[in-house]
Structure 1
């Protein structure tokens, strides 16, 4: 027991050795967050956990952005394949653009031009470059279904294929809305062209 005097008061304090205690990472975090930050060790631990938390947030954000880029790449591949299938069945590039636009109207309940305006997408840029991941995947799923059904049902000509694509987009929309997701209400994301992954 140590006796110390400060300002006329007598204080008793005791020191004894204790065994090392191993804590989980979360327990260390709680001790640091609830400790006295005036103590150097606690201030260091609080700073460490703040940095680690931010680092984890950045990694998570990068993974989300990477998934969106992958979904956009997949949609471009699906649409390229679909365009080839449709060309073999009497649909030219202009017809494909009309079919794709009518699919957007069925999926989003507004045509591509209106949706671009609502989301602030420049007229010269593809809509999908600004869509969130779920909307990109919805467009991709509907386009995949159209590609499969055009071949399985042996469809030819713009009207028959257009009807098929609209039906597929309506089916995808119904599935989303049934789960409480209204694709036209989801805000735009950053231009995907600004996301560069090395």
Structure 2
């Protein structure tokens, strides 16, 4: 397929994409019909029915990707008439293309266009998840550093932080302290537990730590036992909230080593810096 044709088809498909009030991207089936080279709606509707069958077979809800609508279209002399149409998500468009006539140049293009667009969405979603986990871990590091400095200031013992944090972990993880959780999750002894925790649990630890910092200052707590009691209480409170939402902290599986994740994200960022044309 010639480059000029690819550019023209790309522009056509992108020009016809729209967004709902909730920001969900969609295409009208009547527009896709013509973009894919189908002159008659009844013939194109057969392709849509096949696409719906494929959607259901893949375990997805048809109503999530194919939404029936009615709209008014001009028919001349200043009059309009109502016609049936369908709002198609990106995935629905992909399925329609997959069930179309592959001999059509437009179909061949659409099959690849929507496959790549869907993959782009998945990559972006994964990148955002990675970014959120990295930021959550960095935030926890800062709140634990603040608590560590506060404990040393109040107790004069730099070992008390490790003791208090482990007691907090024991409260959060249903009786398992930091070292026990490392063994459970297969984490090396010389690595922080939080480096392998998923975002939700990292944020849970951070929230409990922030409350401990706040109350240690506000209540004037000045001993290891008092701060420990406060930290245990806060972690138990966070655990209770998680359990109410069907999240059992000690049963949530570990995730990728945060160091590897950080290297990968930084590498991708550096590659874009060195090759800015990839952003175009």
TM over 0.5: yes
Are 2:152 and 1:143 aligned?
A: no
Ranges in structure 2 where 5+ consecutive residues have no aligned partner = 1-29, 33-86, 270-280
Pick aligned residue for 2:145 from 76, 80, 84: 80
The structure that is strand-richer by fraction is 2
Aligned residue pairs total: 178
Shift of 1:91: 4.8
Residues 122-141 of structure 1 aligned to structure 2 (within 5 Å): 122-141=188-207
Give TM-score, length-normalised by structure 1.
0.84
Q: Is the CA contact (8 Å cut-off) linking 1:146 and 1:168 kept in structure 2? A: yes
Shift of 1:33: 2.8
Distance 1:69 1:91 in 2: 32
Ranges in structure 1 where 5+ consecutive residues have no aligned partner = 1-20
Pick aligned residue for 1:68 from 133, 143, 146: 133
1:18-53 Cα shifts (integer Å, max 9, x gaps): xxx634773744531321234343122111111111
Distance 2:156 2:206 in 1: 19
Max Rg structure: 1
Residues 114-129 of structure 1 aligned to structure 2 (within 5 Å): 114-129=180-195
Give TM-score, length-normalised by structure 2.
0.60
Distance 2:184 2:138 in 1: 24
Please list every run of at least 4 consecutive aligned residues from structure 1 whose deviation after the TM superposition is greater than 6 angstroms.
none
Q: Is the CA contact (8 Å cut-off) linking 1:89 and 1:156 kept in structure 2? A: yes
Distance 2:253 2:156 in 1: 33
Higher RCO (CA 8 Å, separation ≥ 6 residues): 1
Alignment-derived partner of residue 120 in structure 2: 55
What SS does the corresponding residue of 2:159 show, helix, strand or coil?
helix
Q: CA RMSD in A?
A: 1.6
What SS does the corresponding residue of 1:170 show, helix, strand or coil?
helix
Shift of 1:140: 0.3
